[in-house]
Amino acid sequence: MQQAEQLREHGPESDPPPQDWLISDQSPRSSNSEQELADVVLASTTRFIGRALRKRGKQRASEGVDIMSERTKHEQEQAKSEQVAIVEGYPDLRGCLTDQILFLVGGTRFVPIGDISMPITLEQAEVIVNRLREP
């Protein structure tokens, strides 16, 4: 206790107190209660900080999932609208999943599906149809 009082009187310019400045050799009973109080304060502070960090982490993770799901949803909608445009623009374009090919109705040429990067865009469909229509 004398060291704590000395620190209060002389300020931070004096030598820093030793690690065990809360423990007094003169009264073991008070040192135990002071140490217990310090332990309780430290444990409470640690729990408080831990809860705050977990809460912040959950919020950020939730925001990240929301952003990713919106992005994925937007990409899926865009791919679907591309597919609708392809079907409407090229009604004679067909595919066979058994043979894994694309072809034109009444045509003799085909394109292997493995040669096409998915999902097919409208521009890719135009290139494929032009390729299939070549003599």
Q: What are the pLDDT tens digits along the chain (135 aa)?
A: 555 555 555 554 545 555 554 554 444 455 677 788 777 777 778 887 888 888 888 777 777 666 777 778 888 888 888 889 988 999 999 988 899 999 999 989 999 998 888 778 889 999 999 999 988
Task: Tell me whether residue 63 is in a domain.
Answer: yes
47, two tokens: 């729990």
Instruction: For residues 57 and 25, state if they share a domain.
Output: yes
For residue 109, what are the domain limits? 90-135
69, two tokens: 């799901």
* Dihedral pair phi/psi, residue 79, rounded to 5°: -65, -40
Task: Tell me whether residue 115 is in a domain.
Answer: yes
Domain end (from 49, 76, 103): 76
Which contacts (CB < 8 Å, 24+ apart) does range 112-115 have?
A: none
pTM of the model: 0.45
- Counting the structural domains of the chain, the total is 2
For residue 103, the cross-strand partners are 94, 110
Instruction: For residues 123 and 64, state if they share a domain.
Output: no
Instruction: For residues 59 and 104, state if they share a domain.
Output: no
Q: How far apart are CA 100 and CA 116, in angstroms?
A: 11
Instruction: For residues 68 and 97, state if they share a domain.
Output: no
